[in-house]
A = this chain, B = another copy of it.
Amino acid sequence: MSNSSILQSIQQIASDLANIEFLFSASELSDYGSDYTEDLFFPPTAVCFPASTQEVSAIMQRCYAHNVPVFTRGAGTGLSGACLPVSAGLVLSTKKLNRIVDIDVKNLTVTTETGVVNGVLKAAVEAVGLYYPPDPASQGSCSIGGNLAHGAGGPRAVKYGITRDYVLNLEVVLPNGDVIWTGANTLKNSTGFSLTHLMVGSEGMLGIITQAVLKLIPKPTHELLLVASFANLHDCASAVNAVLLSKYKPCAIELMEKSGVEISMVATQSTFPTHPEAEAYLLFAFDGFDGDDLFLQAEGIFGILDTYNALDILPSPNADTANAWWKVRRAIGETVKQVSPYKEEDTIVPRSAMPGLLLKVKEIGGKYGFQSVCYGHAGDGNLHVNILKNNLSDSQWTVEIPKAIVEIFEYCKSVGGTISGEHGIGLVQASYLSIVMGESHYQLFRGIKATFDPKGLLNPGKWLD
């Protein structure tokens, strides 16, 4: 179908559904052509803002009839370009699907529309003493639907698991407009193939998730941070596994290279317990219901960190300081971007392979001449590798660096890891997927896709195409 006939079809749909907001003007559309991935820009043909499941269904019925491609967009904070409208079609924004439908205090669950921002949901359930643990760095702006579409993680995954672990039931609008609930509002479910778990991480390619029933837990009342500095990356990464093999149970273990911390401190004007000889830091968080116990746990790991030559180990004296330290950690991704464009690789390996992965990344950096800033969820073996453009030429950037990325990913695979822990494949990792997936996988993926979306209308042009 030509671009102009797609536009005409969308205009027809917008006119049929006059109660739903549609945007068509170029100036308005430009906000919907990017996400947080590199500097990509693909302005869509049009954007719509359904405010209910029924409206999503009405739009999809018509898009299905008219063969209009649809790109679902949450808050646009993705890091793999998964939501970008790379060809003509309609961006379906979930922005107005912003109702928290029900907080069920008795069952420790929440039913929410998926356009709700992660941090808004967190705050709402915390107001009644409950807690939704998944906490991507972008929690202040990312949407629950985006979290579901990517199987998002976050620092607290070490203790609490990831988005996937909190999903009980999903309301999904299928490409033809049919609406299903994938499961039940129960903690366990062995009733048919698990469509719920298949939808998680499906990157808007199988259906549009309009509501989710999520598990909650009682909100921990206390938190304590501990920052340890190390003179070398290998010691720093090695200490992580030693702590996790002990009886102490941090809720987060974040590794940060010096350069990332320094850039983020300046940009956020926040404090962080730096050490002049440090090459890297570990940030540990402990949470629970007993402040004394947290101090005991934090104290308990001092000896372990000493074994790995920690330069300094500092607990957070109060909540304000802890917030500042978290801010420095969370802002690394966006503040490094202000220094130089970068490609972010979401490497993940079995945890004990992380010291080796760090050395390998630096070795490959030496070979290809790039600077990298590494940081991330060390407790899960999930290391974000930001490869900075700095003074690299465009051809180095577009031709040579992808070769370096292949080497990094091949190393990940060789130690039992893979190419994305929590960001998804989307657009920018599509060409690397065959490093870890063979033709049998692709055949299964294509069959699943054709089952849900026989016309191939949902999020075309991504890793499956």
A residues with CB within 8 A of B? 104-109, 150-153, 157, 161-162, 164-165, 174, 178, 180, 183-195, 197-198, 200-202, 206, 218, 241, 244-247, 289, 346, 348-352, 377, 380-382, 413, 416-425, 433, 436-438, 440-441, 443-445, 447-452, 463
Contact = CB atoms under 8 A, between A and B. Distances in A.
B349 A186 contact: yes
Contact of A440 (B174, B244, B377, B416): B174
Contacts of A380: 186-188
A70 to B, nearest CB: 18
A381 B187 contact: yes
A92 to B, nearest CB: 20
A450 B247 CA distance: 47
Given A187-B351, A417-B185, A451-B447, A440 B178 contact: yes
A106 B237 CA distance: 13
A432 to B, nearest CB: 9
18 contacts: A104-B352, A105-B245, A106-B241, A107-B350, A151-B189, A174-B440, A178-B440, A180-B438, A186-B380, A187-B382, A188-B348, A189-B348, A190-B423, A192-B433, A193-B198, A193-B206, A197-B197, A451-B451
Given A157-B188, A190-B425, A289-B247, A183 B107 contact: no
Number of this chain's copies in the assembly equals: 2
A106 B143 CA distance: 35
Which of A105, A174, A201 has the most chain B CB within a 10 Å cutoff? Answer: A201
Given A197-B198, A245-B106, A440-B178, A417 B463 contact: no
Given A151-B194, A185-B350, A447-B447, 6 more contacts: A106-B241, A108-B244, A178-B440, A180-B438, A184-B416, A186-B416
A185 B108 contact: no
A178 to B, nearest CB: 5
A357 to B, nearest CB: 11
Nearest to A350: B107
Given A185-B416, A245-B218, A192 B441 contact: yes
B189 A421 contact: yes
Contacts of A289: 247
Nearest to A432: B191
A346 B134 CA distance: 30
Contacts of A200: 194, 197
B350 A104 contact: yes
B184 A417 contact: yes
A191 B423 CA distance: 9
Contacts of A433: 191-192
A152 B444 CA distance: 25
Contacts of A201: 190, 192-194
A441 B180 contact: yes
B190 A445 contact: no
Given A106-B351, A193-B445, A440-B174, A188 B245 contact: no
